[in-house]
Amino acid sequence: MRIFLAPFMALAIFVLGDVAMASTVKTDNVTAQLEADVTTIAPGDSFNAVLKMKIREHWHTYWINPGDAGEPTRINWTLPEGVTASDILWPTPKTIELGPLVNYGYEDEAVYIVPIKTSAMLEVGQTLNFSAHITWLVCEDICIPEDGQFDFSITTGASTIADPLWSKVSQKALDALARPDDTISAGANLSGETLTYHFAGPGLANVKAAYFFPVDTGAVRHAEPQKLSRGPQGFSLLTKPGFRAKKGLKGPVDGVLVVDGKAVMLSAQNGFTPPGSMPDGQSGGVSLAFLQALVFAFIGGVILNLMPCVFPVLSMKAMGFVKRAHDEAAEIRRHGILFLIGVLVSFLVLGGLLIALKASGQQIGWGFQLQYPPFVAALALLFFVLGLMLMGVLHFGGRMTGIGSDLANAGGDSGAFFTGVLAVVVASPCTAPAMGWALGFTLTQGPVITLSVFAALGLGFAAPFFALSFFPSLLRLLPKPGEWMVRFGQLMAFPMFAAAVWLVWVLDGQAGAIGVAAVLATMVLIAFASWAMKGKRAGKISAVVALVLAAMVLWSGLNGKDASALEPQVWSLGAVQTLQKQGYVVFVDFTADWCVTCQVNERLALSSKKVQRAFKASHAVYMVGDWTNRNDDIARELAKYGRAGVPLYLVFYPGIEKPKILPQLLTEGMVIAAVTGSGA
Rg of the chain on CA atoms, in Å: 34
The model's confidence at residue 556, banded by pLDDT at 50, 70 and 90, is: low
Residue 172's pLDDT is: 96
pLDDT at 391 (0 to 100): 74
Q: What are phi and psi of 648, to 5 degrees?
A: -140, 130
Considering only residues 588 and 364, tell me which one the structure prediction assigns the higher pLDDT: 588
Are residues 210 and 325 part of one domain? no
- Fill in the DSSP letter of residue 481: S
* pLDDT at residue number 319: 55
pLDDT at 591 over 80: yes
Q: Range with the lowest mean pLDDT among 163-172, 385-394, 547-556?
A: 385-394
**pLDDT, average across residues 428-454:** 61
Label residue 18 by pLDDT band (50, 70, 90). very low
Q: Which residue has the higher pLDDT, 334 or 122?
A: 122
| Nearest Cα to Cα of residue 647 among 597, 604, 608, 580 | 597
Is pLDDT of 96 > 70? yes
Residue 229 sits in the same domain as residue 373: no
Select the more confidently predicted residue: 454 or 399: 454
- Residue 380 shares a structural domain with residue 310: yes
* 3 state SS of 552: helix
In a domain, 11, yes or no: no
Is residue 254 within 8 Å of 87, Cβ to Cβ? no
The helix/strand/coil state of 456 is: helix
Least confident segment among 16-30, 143-157, 531-545: 16-30
Same domain, 644 and 607: yes
CATH label of the domain that carries residue 41: 2.60.40.1250
| pLDDT, average across residues 401-423 | 55
Give residue-wise pLDDT tens across range 489-535. 677 677 778 778 877 877 776 666 667 877 888 888 888 888 877 77
Interval 318-361: pLDDT, tens: 555 555 545 566 777 777 788 888 888 888 887 777 677 555 54
Whether residues 346 and 491 fall in one domain: yes
Q: Is 9 a member of any domain?
A: no
Please check whether residue 430 lies inside any domain of the structure: yes
Pick the range with the lowest mean pLDDT from 510-519, 541-550, 554-563, 611-620: 554-563
Sort residue 102 into left (φ over 0), alpha (ψ -120 to 50) or beta.
beta
Condensed to tens digits (0 to 9), the pLDDT of residues 447-502 reads 777 788 888 888 888 887 777 777 766 655 555 555 655 676 677 677 778 778 87
Within-domain flag for 6:
no
Q: What are φ and ψ of residue 434, in 5° steps? A: 85, -15
Q: What is the pLDDT of residue 16?
A: 38
For residue 74, give its domain range: 21-177
Is the pTM higher than 0.75? The answer reads: no
Residue 378 — very low, low, confident or very high, per pLDDT cuts 50/70/90?
confident
C-alpha distances (whole Å) from 593 to each of 137, 259, 338, 347, 546 are: 12, 31, 56, 43, 52
Within a domain: residue 525?
yes
Q: Return the closest-CA partner of residue 146 out of 630, 612, 672, 678.
A: 630
What local confidence, expressed as pLDDT, does residue 199 receive? Answer: 94
pLDDT average, residue stretch 228-244: 88
* Amino acid making up residue 387: G
Contact yes or no for 210/257 (Cβ under 8 A): yes
Does residue 60 sit within a domain? yes
Q: In this structure, what CATH number is given to the domain that contains residue 186?
A: 2.60.40
Among residues 500, 534, 559, the one where a domain terminates is 559
Question: What mean pLDDT comes out for the span 222-229?
Answer: 90
Q: Which residues contact 471 (CB under 8 A, 6 or more apart)?
A: none
- Show which of 156, 177, 198 is a domain's final residue: 177
Q: What pLDDT was estimated at residue 162? A: 95
pLDDT value at residue 286: 39
Predicted local distance difference test score (pLDDT) of residue 415: 66
Among the three residues 130, 152, 177, which one is the final residue of a domain in this structure? 177
Q: How many domains does the chain have?
A: 4
Confidence of residue 428 (pLDDT cuts 50, 70, 90): low
Check pLDDT > 90 for residue 216.
Answer: yes
Note whether 186 and 171 are same-domain residues.
no
Distance CA 563, CA 615 (A): 11
Verify that 606 and 540 share a domain, yes or no: no
The pair phi, psi for residue 165, each rounded to 5°, is -80, -55
Asked whether residue 300 falls in the same domain as residue 374, the answer is: yes
In this predicted structure, the answer to whether residue 21 has a pLDDT above a threshold of 60 is no
DSSP string covering 198-252, please? EEE-TTGGG-S-EEEEESSTTSB-TTS--EEEE-SSEEEEEE-B-TTGGG---S-
Q: Which segment of 155-164, 212-221, 445-454, 577-586 scores lowest on mean pLDDT?
A: 445-454
Q: What's the half-sphere exposure (Cβ side, CA atoms, 13 Å) at 264?
A: 22
CATH number at residue 667: 3.40.30.10
Give pLDDT, residue 86.
Answer: 95
The single-letter code of the amino acid at 425 is V
Residue 279 lies in a domain: no
Q: Is residue 2's pLDDT more than 50?
A: no
Calpha distance 296→305 (Å, rounded): 15
Task: Dump pLDDT digits (tens) for 270-297.
Answer: 888 888 777 654 443 335 667 777 887 8
From CA 119, how far away is CA 44, in angstroms rounded? 5
Residues with Cβ within 8 Å of residue 523, at least 6 apart in sequence? 381, 384, 500
Summary mean pLDDT of the chain: 79
Burial zone of 415 (CB within 10 Å; 0-12 exposed, 13-18 middle, 19+ buried): buried
Residue 12 lies in a domain: no
Is the domain of 482 the same as that of 516? yes
* Residue from 612, 616, 638, 626 nearest 571 by CA: 626
Q: Does residue 399 share a domain with residue 516? A: yes
**Residue 110 pLDDT level (bands cut at 50, 70, 90):** very high
| Helix 311-323 × helix 447-469 angle, to 10° | 40
CA atoms within 13 A on the CB side of 238: 15
On whether both 334 and 469 belong to a single domain, the answer is: yes
Between 67 and 539, name the one with better pLDDT. Answer: 67
Of 123-127, 339-343, 576-580, 667-671, minimum mean pLDDT range: 339-343
